Chains A and B, each alone.
Chain A
Amino acid sequence: MDLHIQAIAKRYATVAALDSVDLDVASGELVALLGPSGSGKTTLLRVIAGLLQPDSGRLLFGDQDATRLSLRERNVGFVFQHYALFKHMSVAENIAFGLRSRPRARRPDKASIAQRVQELLNLIQLPELGARYPEQLSGGQKQRVALARALAIDPTVLLLDEPFGALDAKVRIELRRWLRRLHDQTGQTTLFVTHDQEEALELADRVVVLKDGRIEQVGTPDEIYSAPASAYVFDFIGRANVIEGQTEGGQLSVNGHALRLPVDSHSRSRARLYVRPHDMALVADGEGLPARVLSAHRLAERITLELLVEGQVRPLELDLVATPDAVTPAPGSTVHVRPLRYRVYSD
Chain B
Amino acid sequence: MSEHALPLPTSAVRWRRPLPGFGLGLGLGLTWLGLVVLLPLAALILRSGGLGLAGWLRAIGDPRVIASLKVSFATAFIAAVCSLLGGALIAWVLERYRFSGRRLLDALVDLPFALPTAVAGITLAAIYDENGWVGQLLQPLGIKLVNNTTGIVIALIFIGLPFAVRTVQPVLEALGREQEEAAASLGASRLTTLRRVILPELLPALLTGFSLAFARGLGEFGSVIFIAGNLPMKTEIAPLLITIRLEEEGGVTAAIVLATLLLLMSFACLVAINAASALFAHGSRRGG
**A interacts with B:** yes
Give the interface SS of chain B, mostly helix, strand, loop or mixed.
loop
CB under 8 Å from chain B, chain A span 49-71: 50-51, 53, 61-62, 64, 66, 68-71
The answer to the question of A230 belonging to the interface, with a C-beta cut-off of 8 Å to chain B, is no
Instruction: Check A128 for interface membership: any CB of B closer than 8 A.
Output: no
- Which residues does chain A contribute within 8 Å of B24, judged by CB atoms? none
- Assess the A68–B1 pair: CB atoms within 8 A: no
Q: Is B282 an interface residue (CB 8 A)?
A: no
B18: which of A61, A70, A187 is its contact (CB, 8 Å)? A70
CA distance A75 to B11 in the complex (A): 17
Cβ-defined contact, A69 with B1, below 8 A: no
Considering the chains assembled together, what is the distance between the CA atoms of A188 and B17 in angstroms?
Answer: 26
Contacts of B3 in A (CB 8 A): 1, 62
Would you call B97 an interface residue if the criterion is a C-beta within 8 Å of the partner chain's C-beta atoms? no
Residue of A nearest to B19 (CB): A71
Q: Which of B2, B4, B12, B18 contacts A68 (CB 8 A)?
A: B12
- Cross-interface CB contact of B1 among A28, A70, A73, cutoff 8 Å: A28
From B2, B15, B18, name the one whose CB has the most chain A CB atoms within 10 angstroms. Answer: B18
A71 engages B2 (CB within 8 Å):
no
* Count class of interface residues, chain A: 20 to 34
Report if B16 contacts A (CB, 8 A): yes
Taking a contact as CB atoms under 8 Å apart, the answer to whether A69 and B7 are in contact is: yes
Contact B11 A68 (CB under 8 A): yes
The A-B contact count (CB < 8 A) is 48
Q: Is the CB of A27 within 8 A of B1?
A: yes
Does B10 touch A at the CB level, under 8 Å? yes
Taken together as a complex, chains A and B put the C-alpha atoms of A27 and B1 apart, in Å, by 9
Least CB distance, B118 to chain A, in whole angstroms: 41
Q: Separation in Å of the B150 CB from the closest CB of chain A?
A: 53
Q: Which residues of A contact B11 (CB under 8 A)?
A: 68
The answer, among A61, A62, A64, A70, for a CB contact under 8 Å with B16, is A70
Cross-chain contact of B15 among A28, A53, A74 (Cβ < 8 A): A53
A154 within 8 A of B: yes
Minimum distance in angstroms from B278 CB to a CB of chain A: 23
A156 within 8 A of B: yes
Give the distance to chain B from A182, nearest Cβ to Cβ, in Å. Answer: 14
User: When the two chains form their complex, are residues A62 and B4 in contact, meaning their CB atoms are under 8 A apart?
Assistant: yes
CB distance from B117 to the nearest CB of A (A): 38
Complex Cα spacing A164 to B7, Å: 32
- Residue B9 is within 8 A (CB to CB) of chain A in the complex: yes
Instruction: Give the distance in Å from the alpha carbon of A168 to the alpha carbon of B280 in the complex.
Output: 35
B35 at the interface (CB under 8 A from A): no
B26 at the interface (CB under 8 A from A): no
Shortest distance from the beta carbon of B82 to any chain A beta carbon, whole Å: 45
Please measure, in the bound complex, the distance between the C-alpha atom of A289 and the C-alpha atom of B60, giving whole angstroms: 94
Are B4 and A75 in contact (CB-based, < 8 A)?
Answer: yes
B6 touches A73 (CB 8 A): yes
Residues of chain A having any CB pair with chain B under 8 Å = 1, 27-28, 50-51, 53, 61-62, 64, 66, 68-75, 154, 156, 187-188
Q: B interface vs A, CB < 8 Å?
A: 1-4, 6-7, 9-13, 15-18
Name 14 interchain pairs, CB-CB below 8 A, sorted by A: A53-B15, A62-B3, A62-B4, A69-B7, A69-B9, A70-B16, A70-B18, A71-B18, A73-B6, A73-B7, A73-B16, A154-B4, A156-B4, A188-B1
